[in-house]
Amino acid sequence: MSFKFKEEFKELFFSSLGRDSLGCSIEDFFGDSVESASVSVRINEEKFRHLLSFSDEDFSAKSFEEVLETLLELPPISPIKWCKGGYYLKEKINFTLSPLFRNGAYYVQDSSSMFLQLLEEQIKSRCADSSAASFNVLDLCAAPGGKSTHLLSAINEICNKTGDIKRLFVCNEPITKRVGALLENVEKWGYENVLVTSNYPKEFQRLAANHFPLFDIILTDVPCSGEGMFRKSVEAQQGWSVENVRRCAQVQKEILQDIWPLLKNGGLFIYSTCTYNHFENGDNIEFMEFEIGAENLNELIKESAVAAGAIPVFSKDNPQHILGFQFVAGVVNGEGQFFSLLKKGGEPSNQSSKPSRRLNEKQIIKNSLRVLNDEIVAVIKGKDVVPSHSFALSNKMLSIIEKNRGRSEVELYIDSVTGELIEESGRNSRKCLSLRFMIAEIKKETALKYLRKEPLSPLEILPSFSSNFNPDSLHRGYILLTYKHLPLGFIKNLGNRINNLLPNNRRILNQN
C-alpha cells in the first residue's frame, strides 16, 4: 500500500521537526508500505522468571535471546536498545493462537511506545523522594494497556528495591468500547492493587476538589491525530487534516488543565502522543510550562533519549530549550511517538490535615470514580467458593504454585464475606471458607481447546497418566490448568462433565 501524503501534512511535518536536521524526503521516513512496520514484544519478567524456574532444559550453551525464544515459543528475536525486556521479532506469528500471549507472558507493543524505560532514573528518584506511605500512579488514557503494563512492571520493581512502599495504580480509559482490551491486558499482566476506571478527565476534578492531590506520577498518552501511525493505519492517513490537528490540540489542553490538580507537589507528569506536529506536541508542553506552571525535566533524559534515536524537539523561541523527544518512523525501527517529562514544583503539602485522609486512597477512588474491576480471589455462592479468572492469572497465583510445587492439591482460605484471600496467620481471626483445587499441566493443543471453550476430557487434562488411567479418579472440583507451568484458568470437574470457567469474553474466536 503506497502512501499519498497531503502537501499540508508534509509542510507541517518538516516545520515541526526541522527540514534541515532531517535531511531527506518524507517517503524515506515512512517507507512505501505497511509491511515496513516492525513487530515487537515486551516480556513480563515476573512470568518469565516463573517459566524459567520450572524449566528442566539445559540452557548453558544458549544466549539469553535463545532462552526467551525457546520458553516463550517466539521466532528469532533481537533486543530493542532502549527498553530492557523489549524485543523485535524477525518473523510475524499468530499471537491469538499463543497460550503464552493469552496468559500474559509477553505483550505485543510497538517499540517506540516502550519509551518509558528511558525515564527509569527519574521514576526511581520520585520513589525515593516520596515521603508518603503509598505511591500512586495514574495512566489517564490507558487502553489498550501497553504503557500501563510497562509502567506497572517498572514501578513495582523500583518500589520493591526502595523499601516496603504500598503502591496503587489507576488505569483509566474514558471510551467505553476500548475498556475491554484494557481490562484483559491489565488482568493477565498479573499485578495487585490495580484499579481500572472509565471516567473522562473532567470527572477526576472531584478528587482534587474533595481530597488532596493523590498521584505521584501521571501518564497522559492523549488522544491525537495519529500521524505516527500512518504506516499501520489507512484511516489515520485519510482522516488527517489541519483542522483535526487543531481540534486535537485544543482537547489536549483541556485534558491537561483538568488533570494537573491531581498531581502531588514534586510529582512527575509524562506527556505523550503518537503524532508529529508541533500543535499537539511542543506547543502543548509550552502551554504546560507557561500557563499551568510545569517544570521541564527533559534535559535530564536527553542523553538516553538521543542515544535511543529520538530527535529532540526544541522551542522556536528558545532553540536551546528541549520541549520533548520524537521517535520518527524510519529514523528508528518503530512508529512515531512524542514524549516529554515534566514535574510539579512546590513543597509537599501537609496532606494529613485533610479530613479525607482517614480513608485510604483506594477507597477514595472507589467512592469517586467508576471502577470496573475488583481484586477478589473468589465469589461466594452459598457454600461454594468459585475462584476468579483474574486470580488465576495473577502473580499471587505464581507464588502459590511455587509454594505448592509437587503437591497434588492446594488449599486456600477465603474470607466468607469479601472473597479475599486470607493468609495463614489470619485464619483464626476471620470467618473463612476453604478453596481446594488441583493444578494440572496440559499440552498446547489442550490449552488452545480450553481457550476456545471447547469440551475437554479427563485424559486431555492429565496426559501424563498411563493408558489405564481411570477418568473417574480425576479430582472432583476445581482444577487450575497451566501451560509451561503458567496458569491459564480454572475448570470444574463435576464427574459427568467438565465445566470450562474461562470468561466468554476471553475465549479465542479465531478457529484457524
> Where do the H-state alpha helices sit in 119-166?
120-129, 146-162
Query: DSSP letters along 287-305, please?
Result: HIIIII-PEE-GGGGHHHH
Bridge partners for 492 per DSSP: 478, 499
Provide the phi-psi class of 6: left if phi over 0, else alpha when psi is between -120 and 50, else beta: beta
Query: DSSP letters along 53-87, please?
Result: HH-----TTS-HHHHHHHHHT--SEEE-TTSTTEE
Bridge partners for 77 per DSSP: 89
For cell 477507597, the residue is: 363
- Which residue in 127, 141, 248, 274 is the catalytic one? 274
What distance in Å separates the CA atoms of residue 130 and residue 134, rounded to the nearest whole number? 8
Handedness of CA 492, 106, 335, 322 (dihedral sign): positive
Question: Is the link from the previous residue into 348 a cis peptide, with omega within 30 of 0?
Answer: no
Residue 103 and residue 188 in contact, taking contact as beta carbons nearer than 8 Å: yes
Residue 477 and residue 436 in contact, taking contact as beta carbons nearer than 8 Å: yes
Which pairing describes strands 477-483 and 432-441: parallel, antiparallel, or unpaired? Answer: parallel
Q: Which of 40, 178, 181, 28 is nearest to 112 (CA)?
A: 40
Q: Which of 284, 287, 302, 296 is nearest to 343 (CA)?
A: 296
Residue 490 and residue 481 in contact, taking contact as beta carbons nearer than 8 Å: yes
Residue 186 and residue 153 in contact, taking contact as beta carbons nearer than 8 Å: no
Q: What is the DSSP letter of 192?
A: S
Q: Which of 196, 148, 129 is nearest to 375 (CA)?
A: 196
Query: DSSP letters along 9-31, please?
Result: HHHHHHHHH-HHHH-S-HHHHH-
Label residue 410 exposed, middle or buried (CB < 10 Å: 0-12, 13-18, 19+). Answer: middle
Question: Is 274 marked active-site?
Answer: yes
Which pairing describes strands 486-493 and 498-500: parallel, antiparallel, or unpaired? Answer: antiparallel
Rounded to 5°, the CA angle 349-321-118 comes to 70
Which pairing describes strands 106-108 and 134-139: parallel, antiparallel, or unpaired? Answer: unpaired
How many C-beta neighbours within 10 Å does residue 445 have? 10
> Where do the H-state alpha helices sit in 276-356?
282-287, 302-307
Task: Write out the three cell numbers for 450.
Answer: 480450553
**Catalytic center residues:** 274
